[in-house]
Amino acid sequence: MVNEELIFIDLDLTTQADVFDFLSETTVARQIATNKKDVQSALKKREEEGTTGMMDGFAIPHAKSDAITKPAILVIKLKQGIEWDSMDGQPTQYIIAMFIPTAESGSTHLKVLSQVARMLMKSDFKEEFVATDSPVALATLISEKLEA
């Protein structure tokens, strides 16, 4: 669901819209989804229901769509924090984005979302995530927590 090719370090995106645009485009380019506009619309729709900005600089945007053909997690570490309406009011710099086909919205989506939310409750995970700039190491860190 996550691998080093889906992890992007030190990106210079300056708004939430830029992040959604990058994520949508990347899901199509990596054959995770078939339609950029549908994925972008699903990300925006979810955000309108309530912020996905968590604490300590993390956000967990997620999209369910018929345009998404396989579940995937994309990770972005931004050069600097951006406004995301986060729960603690702090800028968001670390993004763990989930993409789930509509057909798996009741199973895979809830399972992965709850696992990622639990990861972000653990300070040791967040500290290791922030300190690591290797896509391979980040993919391993997240995969281990998803399987645990």
Alpha-carbon dihedral of residues 19, 25, 31, 33, nearest 10 degrees? 80
Q: What is the mean pLDDT of residues 70-85?
A: 96
Residues in the chain: 148
pLDDT, the chain, mean = 94
Q: What is the mean pLDDT of residues 38-59?
A: 96
> What residues form DSSP beta bridges with 62?
98
| Residue the block writes with tokens 């889906």 | 6
Does the pLDDT of residue 113 top 90, yes or no? Answer: no
pLDDT of residue 100: 93
Does the pLDDT of residue 108 top 90, yes or no? Answer: no
CA distances to 29, 56 from 61, in Å: 19, 15
pTM: 0.94
Cα(75)–Cα(96) distance, rounded to whole angstroms? 5
CA distances to 56, 60, 91 from 86, in Å: 9, 10, 7
Residue 9 — very low, low, confident or very high, per pLDDT cuts 50/70/90? Answer: very high
Cα(73)–Cα(123) distance, rounded to whole angstroms? 21
Q: What is the mean pLDDT of residues 18-26?
A: 98
Task: List Cβ neighbours of 83 (8 Å cut-off, separation of 6 or more).
Answer: 15, 16, 91, 92
pLDDT of residue 105: 80
Does the pLDDT of residue 148 top 70, yes or no? Answer: no
pLDDT of residue 111: 85
